[in-house]
Structure 1
Amino acid sequence: MRNNIYVLHERGTVSHFIGLEYYASTVNADVQFREFSITRFLLKSIFRLDYNLFIKQIKNIIFLISLSFTSKRTVIVGIAPLDWRMVFLRFLLKGHRVFYFTSWSDWSGKYYPKKKLNSCHFIRKTWRKFLEEDITGVFSVTNTGLKSLTKHYKIKVSTSVVYHSYKKLETHAIPTEFSDKIKLIYVGRLVKEKGIKELIELIKKLDPTKFSLTIVGAGELKPLVEKNAKEISNIEYKGFISSKKDLWKLFHAHDVQLLFSRKSDRWEELFGMVIIEAMANGVITISTNHSGPKEIIDHNINGFIIPDDSSLIENTKEILENKLSNLEYLKEQAEIKAVKYSAKNISFKWKSLLNE
């Protein structure tokens, strides 16, 4: 009989647990994903007559109720810092083998992603008890986040840094005509905080005979991207690509990924899956200096880190025009670094705690 490892999160991304799934496959276990954010999506499923979404919420409800009548299940909880729903989850999780999973990088209290009730003394006390008394272990996506967490809370259990990981896909590059152009690419949400406007401003300042830009993704700034792709000869918009294999083919045909994430009081780039996926395909990344990218990219070795400030465009332009004479070496180093984040290697990080 196969054992179950449950991942309980709000509306998390399954791709963040590739390393965990690899580990589970080696110990005859299954990873089951459940969500605690139910009400809104249950109503949505009813109003839209979405059968699959409805069944998913029913499964979530049954799972949460079942926690009260069972014990010793292995549950990995991914929930944003100081989320008020911890009050209820903590009660349901009693008697189970609970691990906390987080990608949050700053536990100092300066800012948290959840604003609702996060200043409430009772909520803060509940979270402190959960982290300091209830859990069996902590999985953090970055060293930065783990150091901050252990600095501000008395974590008595074992911890492990489980970077996001990828499955290696065997692909062949999309055939392209030979060109001396450096092929730039952006993959992600088309929203303000991802620096889309700055991306377009940059390409306008680059020599179109030397640089081209491919944009992949969807979001509120899609009309802006489409407009500029029509007007500027060296911008190509591919839309949203759901197939990971197709995305890897596209990466393989490019040289440099641009990641202009802009930090706000509620968000920063906490890891950057597209960075390790690009690296695995020999694509270097130029990224703003957010906590996640800084931990992945070795500046001027397998990519570049630039300040998230008003000089972003000029700093990137300087790198592209004057610091890529050794581009092939940088690309090789990116592929070497990517191995660190393979599903197999990251699975050992999960194993170190789950096997205790």
Structure 2
Amino acid sequence: MKNKDMTIAEICLNDALGGLELTAANCFEYFKNKTNCYAIVAPDTKLDKLIDNKNKFTVKRNKILPLIPAFKLAKLIDNNNIDILHFHLGKDIIPIVLAKIISKKKPIIIYSRHMNMTRFKNDIYHRWLYKNINMLHAVSRQVKEQLEKYIPSSARPPIELVYLGTKESSIDENKIETLKSKYNLENTFVVGMIGRIEDEKGQHILIEAISKLNNPNVKALIIGSAPREEYMKKLKEMVKSLNIEDKVIFTGFTKEVNEHMKLCDASVLATKKETFGLVVIESMRNKVCTIATNNGGPLEIIDDNINGLLFDRTPQDLASKIEYLYNNPDIKNSLASSGYEKAKREFDYETQMQKLYNAIQSV
């Protein structure tokens, strides 16, 4: 039964579509079945296209004149009797706090922090901002510790640690076979990397690792789109110069993420500073063995050599981990199976969403 006494607005005004934006969409989908809920996104973005619902509004962020989106948000708050503003990105904090002040309703503000925090927020401006926030949601212990370190206690709202979760999705087996044929992956050991194609994500590390293996039966499947064409161009030039054009496949953006993930024998997360690693638990839930960088969020998910592998973010170490899995299929399958059990037990979508909803409800 819905809680009709509480109205939540899920806000994400970003123009990209990655784990953070998908989490905002997932929160909207889950919360709207629990209570009155609206989605507020930037117009003509991938997130705008993804959320198809009559309870969706669009607001464009304005870095120079934040009062413009703030007044629009304040109007939406008052016209729709919104009690809680839940947002996910630091860039949205200014118009949201201003909207709270401008509105008659004066809603509660909850900030889900997905990104690293690396600077102290002890100046007057940031103290004022955080004093207007009612709760911080940290997606990992690392993020919680950063929030406690960098936001002074006099301005810091209560912090709730709730990990993200993932579903066990239905898979189109026929689609998998079609994709396998499309990418020519028969009798191939496939190493996948899923996510935005950008330098920080480290696709270049996987490409260099593939070149070091010099194994004709191992291919890299790089799944996602590039916000900046320069990096994609750099990657393709790198593939060409290493003479491995037959071993690296760029799929581009796809909505069939789980089917693409199921093509893989192993998946790689090579981000330099990952706060959590949603793609890690998604891979684990798809029973794909995961290799991730040995810092940040992955340390809270993967138990090395038990339910996945950790590497030091060098191409040499990544190549050795891929070779190890290639030469030891039973170990690969065991790691994948253990990873699946841990993801199902500790990072279940319904369980984690309910924990977050309960935390929001208690503010």
TM-score range, shorter chain: 0.7 to 0.9
- Aligned residues of 1:23 and 1:350 also touching (Cα < 8 A): no
1:162 Cα deviation from its structure 2 partner:
4.0
Residue 206 of structure 1: which of 203, 210, 213 is its match? 213
AA at the equivalent of 1:352: N
Residue 315 of structure 2: which of 310, 313, 335 is its match? 313
Q: Does 1:237 align with 2:249?
A: yes
Paired residue for 1:355? 361
Instruction: Give the secondary structure class of the aligned counterpart of 2:164.
Output: coil
Cα RMSD, aligned residues only: 3.5
1:197 Cα deviation from its structure 2 partner:
2.4
Change (3 A) 1:160 1:307: same
Q: Does 1:286 align with 2:291?
A: yes
Paired residue for 2:66? none
Q: Does 1:195 align with 2:202?
A: yes
Change (3 A) 1:347 1:11: same
Instruction: Give the distance between the partners of 2:257 and 2:80, measured in 1 at CA.
Output: 42
AA at the equivalent of 1:148: Q
Deviations 1:326-351 (A, max 9, x none): 11101111211222333212122123
- Aligned residues of 2:291 and 2:311 also touching (Cα < 8 A): yes
Paired residue for 2:10? 7
Any stretches of 5+ residues in structure 2 without a counterpart?
A: 46-56, 62-68
Change (3 A) 1:345 1:171: farther
1:259 Cα deviation from its structure 2 partner:
2.2
Instruction: Give the distance between the partners of 2:235 and 2:96, measured in 1 at CA.
Output: 40
AA at the equivalent of 2:312: P
Report percent identity of matched pairs.
18
Instruction: Give the secondary structure class of the aligned counterpart of 1:285.
Output: strand
Residue 99 of structure 1: which of 110, 115, 120 is its match? 110
AA at the equivalent of 2:300: E
Instruction: Give the secondary structure class of the aligned counterpart of 1:20.
Output: helix
1:247 Cα deviation from its structure 2 partner:
2.1
Q: After superposition, where does 1:50-199 map in structure 2 within 5 Å?
A: 56-57=58-59, 62-67=72-77, 73-80=83-90, 85=95, 88-92=98-102, 95-106=106-117, 109=120, 121-131=123-133, 135=134, 137-151=135-149, 152-154=151-153, 155=156, 157=158, 159-166=160-167, 168-172=169-173, 174-175=176-177, 176=180, 179=187, 181-199=188-206
AA at the equivalent of 2:110: F
Residue 276 of structure 1: which of 273, 281, 286 is its match? 281
Deviations 1:249-298 (A, max 9, x none): 12112111122223xxxxx3223332222222111222223422222222
Instruction: Give the distance between the partners of 1:321 and 1:30, measured in 2 at CA.
Output: 51
Q: Does 1:346 align with 2:347?
A: no
AA at the equivalent of 1:212: K
Deviations 1:198-256 (A, max 9, x none): 2221111113234221122222232344456664254242432331xx22112112111
TM-score scaled by structure 2?
0.73
Q: After superposition, where does 1:287-302 map in structure 2 within 5 Å?
A: 287-302=292-307
1:34 Cα deviation from its structure 2 partner:
1.6
- Aligned residues of 2:267 and 2:291 also touching (Cα < 8 A): yes
Q: After superposition, where does 1:228-267 map in structure 2 within 5 Å?
A: 231-232=243-244, 234-243=246-255, 246-262=256-272
Instruction: Give the distance between the partners of 1:355 and 1:83, measured in 2 at CA.
Output: 21
1:19 Cα deviation from its structure 2 partner:
5.2
- Aligned residues of 2:286 and 2:340 also touching (Cα < 8 A): yes
Change (3 A) 1:239 1:210: closer
Instruction: Give the secondary structure class of the aligned counterpart of 1:355.
Output: helix
Deviations 1:8-52 (A, max 9, x none): 23317541136534542542x3432224x79xx89xxxxxxxxxx
Instruction: Give the distance between the partners of 1:186 and 1:72, measured in 2 at CA.
Output: 39
Deviations 1:290-326 (A, max 9, x none): 4222222222222222234xxx111112222236621
Change (3 A) 1:79 1:281: closer
AA at the equivalent of 2:247: I
- Aligned residues of 1:16 and 1:165 also touching (Cα < 8 A): no
Instruction: Give the distance between the partners of 1:70 and 1:178, measured in 2 at CA.
Output: 54
Change (3 A) 1:90 1:31: closer
TM-score scaled by structure 1?
0.74
Paired residue for 1:337? 342
Change (3 A) 1:146 1:187: same
- Aligned residues of 2:131 and 2:157 also touching (Cα < 8 A): no
Deviations 1:168-187 (A, max 9, x none): 233327235763x4321112
Higher mean displacement: 191-200 or 227-236: 227-236
AA at the equivalent of 1:350: L
AA at the equivalent of 1:320: I
- Aligned residues of 1:19 and 1:343 also touching (Cα < 8 A): no
Deviations 1:51-75 (A, max 9, x none): xxxx833896643334367766122
Paired residue for 1:46? none
AA at the equivalent of 1:319: K
